[in-house]
Amino acid sequence: MNVRVLSAVLSGIDGIPVDVEVDVHPGVGHFDIVGLPEAAVRESKVRVLSALRNLGFRAHTRWITVNLAPGDVRKHGSLFDLPVALGVLACLDAFPASALDGRLILGELSLDGLVRPVPGVLPMVAAARDRGIRETIVPAANGAEAALVRGIRGYEARTLTDLIEALAGRADLGEVHPEDAPRPVAAPHAPDLAEVRGQAHVKRALEIAAAGRHNLLMVGPPGSGKTMLSRRLAGLLPTMTNEESLETTKVHSAAGLLRHRAALIAERPFRAPHHTGSAAAIAGGGSRPRPGEVSLAHHGVLFLDELPEWRREVLEVLRQPLEDRHVTISRAAATVTYPADFLLVAAMNPCMCGYLGDSRHRCTCTPPEVAKYRARVSGPLMDRIDLHVEVPAVAFRDLATPSGGEPSSVVRGRAQAAADIQAARLGPGGARFNGRMDAAQVRAHCGVPDDASRLLEAAMERLGLSARALDKVLKVARTIADLDGSDGIRTVHVSEAVQYRLLDRPSG
């Protein structure tokens, strides 16, 4: 007897439909899986046979062949356990084979028949819905993910025994209802900007970065608060839209990082990998590609501390996602693409010892050593950072103040208003934010008056600004003007924007 069961496999954050064709005949015990299965898929026959044997079915005395189609797509993971087991059971007349028609089925099996969760349920269910499938059976622990996808009925599977009873018509499947899926809400305990004492000019730079999506570099001695400030940047970004939440959740689902019964990711991600991380950990990869830190920070913030301490080849992999807002990983078997639209915030010491320019500590570095330390970060990467800001050690009088200033919610409101202005000016799609404008858009939307033009000319001569750096000054000035609610860029906006080119200043 031959039975076909619909399942799926992940490619990036997209689901690809897979037909699980199960053929069972009398004969000497044999179980084979074909169709480019990886090791975890081939091992499923052990789990399936053990689960069926523990339920009283003598499948180990049958000749079983499983074909996973299409045959040119590599199959990975343990999610085929459940569709394979149900296909075998249908062939053994445990329930009518028609009960499997038109249903996407995903899940891993334990040896005693429990149905375990699998990663990537959300994108695979969404892909099935888009292809006209109207029902899905997923592990109970993945039910909240399945509930996020409207237009497809989801059912929870807890044990293989329960499924047999339901598919045979002797019990009901537990349905997942869309209203069971939590909607986006604000993070209740997000770090607040009001907790930071002093550093008013750095907080201003954070506001500008959040409003216009400008990548930010903070330079300051150890203990000046660079990490503390960075952790508050995600809370200054405008609230996530449903579309952004769903796309971010897909990435985390594909990476297997959603918590038990967790659903929609409602707060913007903040990722802070250690500087010893590999290129594969940052960009994604592995023998079976999975999302890296740049994708896990999608629609959020990627924080790189101790920037010069990162290996140069690791930093260079950031160039594609910073430019294209996605990362492509090529392997012999397949090429996958993950979204990577993140805001980069980096931190570094001003020199090797960390105390250059600090009035309370003596710097022991020579000028060549300072230049060598800063040269560890390549020019092409620095070209993709709009804001350079100095973070000095905090004075005692600032630490002794009872309040750190405005809360994140107030600053986020201004950033949201500025983002709305940008969206209206730049139109749907495309750049959307000033920090994402190309050269043509800079020329179209960043005109300056004559006095501001003279200021820019003087800044280029004194600081040695390149044409690329000049465009970044204009982008930042446009965001400052939007925060002020100004229709045009004024001299005061340009003057402030120039101040955020710290590393362009002559060292002498």
How confident is the model at residue 179, as a pLDDT?
Answer: 55
- Report the pLDDT value the prediction gives residue 164, as an integer from 0 to 100: 95
Question: What one-character-per-residue DSSP string does 193-208 give?
Answer: GGG--S-HHHHHHHHH
How much of the chain, in percent, has pLDDT values that exceed 70?
Answer: 94
Tell me, yes or no, if the two domains 2-180 and 193-403 fold the same way.
no
CA 257 to chain CA mean position, Å: 11
The region of weakest confidence among 11-15, 31-35, 126-130, 299-303 is 11-15
Closest CA to 340 of 383, 286, 283: 283
3-state SS class at 253: helix
Flag whether pLDDT at 393 surpasses 50: yes
Q: Among the ranges 380-384, 387-391, 404-408, 498-502, which has the highest mean pLDDT value?
A: 387-391
* CATH number of the structural domain 193-403: 3.40.50.300
At 249-293, the pLDDT tens digits run 999 999 888 765 556 788 899 999 999 999 999 998 777 788 999
Listed range (188-192, 291-295, 463-467) with the worst mean pLDDT: 188-192
One CATH from 3.40.47.10, 1.10.260.40, 3.30.1330.10, 3.30.230.10 for 2-180 = 3.30.230.10
pLDDT classification of 448: cutoffs 50, 70, 90 = very high
Q: What is the pLDDT of residue 178?
A: 62
Q: What is the pLDDT of residue 185?
A: 44
Q: Is the pLDDT of residue 428 over 70?
A: yes
Residues 6+ apart with CB under 8 A from 425: 445
pLDDT at position 508 is 44
- Sign of the Cα pseudo-torsion (289, 292, 294, 300, in order): positive
What is the reported pLDDT for 380? 84
Angstrom distance (rounded) from CA 216 to CA 228: 14
Orientation of helix 467-483 relative to helix 450-463, angle to 10°: 140
Asked whether residue 418 carries a pLDDT value surpassing 80, the answer given is: yes
Q: Average pLDDT in the 234-256 region? A: 90
pLDDT of 507 strictly over 60? no
Q: Which pLDDT score, from 0 to 100, does residue 269 have?
A: 93
> pLDDT for 116-171, tens place per residue?
999 999 999 999 999 999 999 999 989 888 888 888 999 999 999 999 999 999 99
Q: For the chain, which residues make up each domain, given as ranges?
A: 2-180, 193-403
Spatial neighbors of 111 by CB under 8 A, at least 6 apart, are 47, 50, 51, 54
pTM as predicted: 0.88
pLDDT of residue 100: 95
Q: What DSSP letter does each residue of 11-55 carry, written as one string?
A: ETTEEEEEEEEEEEEESSSEEEEESSB-HHHHTHHHHHHHHHHHT
pLDDT of residue 333: 64
At residue 186, the pLDDT reads: 46
Report the pLDDT value the prediction gives residue 309, as an integer from 0 to 100: 94
Residue 248: phi, psi to the nearest 5? -65, -40
Phi, psi angles (nearest 5°) of residue 290: -140, 160
* pLDDT for residue 299: 95
β-strands 108-109, 14-26: how paired? unpaired
